[in-house]
Amino acid sequence: MRNVTEDNLTDTFLSYFGDDTDPRLKEIMDSLARHLHAFAKETKLTHKEWQKGLDILRSAGAITTPERDEFVLLSDVMGLSSLVDMVNSSEDGTSSSVLGPFHISNPPAMDMGADLRGDYDGELILVSGSVLDTNGKPIEGATLDIWQTAPNGLYSSQDPEQDKYSFHAIFTTGKNGSYWFTTVRPVSYTVPTDGPVGEILNATGRHPWRPSHLHYIIKADGYRDLVTEVFPDDDPYLDEDTVFGVRSDLVMSYVKQQADSFPTSGYALSGKVAEEYSRVDFDLVLTRDVSA
């Protein structure tokens, strides 16, 4: 096209694709270009504003390391990570939710009933539930990879004071599909604000808080992997998660219990609990992997 105009640029862009371009790549690039071009036209984007956008991307690249990915965080606070989750979520299982940047590979395998709190201060919680299929049948041999913040609101990868794997564990379900362990109650925390994402949040009058949560990745043969998190119903940020991760089926309750009701067997802390604790029961429903 020799005379490219505001009106024909998008079609011109699409006409430049080679004939053997992968059809899915073509579909994605086609849609991306149409939306980007419409965005620039609709907002009458100025050169200065466009330069600012590029600066943000440059700063995201500069601050990104293997341990801290600012592009993922940008996608999270823009709601894109959650939207990708939603469009790929199964309809009948437990909802998925954002992975976040703080998961560590190869967490230690632990026996059911293990205690993740150790010597940390903070409210003791007992977490239990079952991994089920969509007919309510327990799934044996499902792995639950679980991680959370310490009581200071930091994940172990953010905090040199913590052991590498503190508050990370992997459990495998037995015949009845159930899981159980104790830990400390996670706290609400802020996403990192020392990079360009912090600048965007600040400029748009947004806070950086996430409601407290426990992260899960659940895998079982023949089922779709489930990446999700569960949130307590009394968290002040439940309705304003800065990364849009909350779904109503992921909200649970902590139920206060007296010390003497703590199970007398089956837990590392059985026979050792002399304080009130809270109990959470949360079942996770996996859907069949039809692509397998």
Binding positions for Fe ion, rule: CB under 5 A: 100
Nearer to Fe ion, 85 or 133 (CB): 85
For 234, the token pair is 């009394």
CB–CB of 146/83 below 8 Å? no
For β-strands 251-252 and 226-232, DSSP reports them as parallel
Radius of gyration over alpha carbons of the chain, in Å?
23
285's contact among ligand BEZ, Fe ion, none, with CB below 5 to 8 A by partner kind, is: none
DSSP reduced 3-state for 74: helix
Identified binder of ligand BEZ from the candidate list 131, 191, 218, 250, rule CB under 6 A:
191
Closest approach of ligand BEZ to the CB of residue 205, in Å? 19
Cβ at position 100, least distance to Fe ion in Å: 5
Residue 195 lies near ligand BEZ (rule: CB under 6 A): no
70 binds ligand BEZ (CB under 6 A): no
243 in contact with ligand BEZ (CB under 6 A): yes
Tokens of 284: 């996770």
Q: Does 98 bind ligand BEZ (CB under 6 A)?
A: yes
Distance CA 259, CA 270 (A): 11
Cβ closest to ligand BEZ, residue 210 vs residue 219: 210
Cα–Cα distances (Å) from 205 to 43, 198, 200, in that order, read: 20, 11, 9
Identify what 235 binds: Fe ion, ligand BEZ, none; CB under 5 to 8 Å per kind.
none
Least distance from ligand BEZ to the Cβ atom of residue 70, Å: 10
Q: Which helix (H) or strand (E) holds 168?
A: strand 168-172
Q: Which stretch binds ligand BEZ (CB under 6 A): 18-26, 30-38, 93-101, 126-134?
A: 93-101
142 binds ligand BEZ (CB under 6 A): no
User: What is the closest distance, in whole angstroms, from the C-beta atom of residue 4 to ligand BEZ in the complex?
Assistant: 40
Closest contact distance (angstroms) between CB of 229 and ligand BEZ is 6
Site track 207-236 with ligand BEZ (rule: CB under 6 A), x = hit: ---x--------------------------
CA 82 distance to own-chain centroid: 9
Cα(34)–Cα(249) distance, integer angstroms? 35
Contact 140, 207 (CB under 8 A): no
Q: How far is the CB of 209 from Fe ion (least distance, A)?
A: 11
231 binds, among ligand BEZ, Fe ion, none (CB under 5 to 8 A by kind): none
- What does 223 interact with, of ligand BEZ, Fe ion, none (CB < 5 to 8 A by kind)? none
Residue with tokens 């053997």: 20
In the numeric block, the tokens 């239990």 are attached to 128
**What is the phi/psi pair of residue 250, to 5°?**
-100, 10
**100 interacts with ligand BEZ by CB under 6 A:** yes
8 A C-beta contact, residue 188 and residue 153: yes
As a whole number of angstroms, the distance between CA 198 and CA 191 comes to 8
Residues of this chain that bind ligand BEZ (CB under 6 A): 73, 76, 98, 100-102, 191, 210, 243
